[in-house]
Structure 1
């Protein structure tokens, strides 16, 4: 489970609702005091939320960028139905296109992990709203075997237990980590996430085909593959090879693992804004 540094946005950002033709989405909207040099749309990963990007919002604003981090449908503070069909990848990708449309200006699109595969699907539907695409710790196809097993176990548990029961089991299984986040915040986020969303998107992560060649054919669109120096969800050599196939800019954040946005936020923000500066 992702562990954001805080659930309280910095002074440069505010929590609000983004109204779109496909519904309302909870977002954190941050930016500089003056006219931004660009706008960024941030999609969180599996079991995550918009708060996973909190530590990036201030350095983004300092670099002149407005950033909107979004809870997708069924994630944390965005409502979602209990039917699996609502979380099909095509539906989630269409939501991203509606979000970009509602923002009202072309955006740099970034997706972390599952969010990267949703971002890819959105670009393959319509490249028009996007200035660039960054895949953060998000690989070319399905996740590694150990992660598929973890997803299977979680999906089986969610099919028979309540979210509260699953939370209690997860607490006993996870290794304690140093984090400033109150466990109550993580618990609240977990309990507000829809089980159907987790089950359906977990299956997507386990069966996703390789669509790198399709994405490489989307031109012109600057592409960026960013990761930590270690990753147990998609091995680093796999991400390196994907970047080569995409002819993408490649960033590796030293000292970070699967979530460079929370592991090394300042270094991650610098790599991202440096890439965007070249494609404003």
Structure 2
């Protein structure tokens, strides 16, 4: 057997079918697949047991899943020194706190988000908050489901809250797209994020395209940049790419670690945006 490869239960059973004669190696695989009473539990084992028992502990993942029937959702947590951990989420009347193993930073991504059990003009609503980053989506019915691998954020501190619930609307919701071109004319590392009602993305430094909703066709822009070693302020301006109209402005202050800096206003019903960041 390949080193560190786990032999499945189904394969182990085939070694002992009627008429078969298990080899020494196959017996060894069977023994290695079992837990001896003298074996110490790994940290991962302890965490998995704690989660199955729904053990409570402050400062861990807080999840509130309600009004979703028998639907089950799952997310994946990754860290550099541990295997990926799949966390399954299901209906609950209370906030559940789950422990995680590994060392920060933790990267969270969506894995499986079904969209059944919805009535007319009903949607599921996902919101995920961690370390000041807020990601949200509506899905189901005519809206696409949350794709596997959607990045929910990177956790370096202790703030993590995830919510999934059913959302009833008076009308159908449709997606609208706004293309965003990001032009950073400075030497600093600057990231931006876009947010609208019931929709939001993680921070990025790349061009992007929104998929927010037509009944809330207004966008807000946030920025972050560590300028503690930079002695010049930076100004980020949002323009309508089609006519160069200035829409919002945000100032990033020199000598500070700028986080969650908000542009002074909202952008309504505009399909092409350009963000320019330059030294003041």
TM score, norm. by length of structure 2:
0.27
Higher alpha-carbon Rg: 2
Q: Which structure shows the bigger proportion of residues in strand conformation?
A: 2
**Whose RCO is larger (CA < 8 A, sep 6+)?**
1
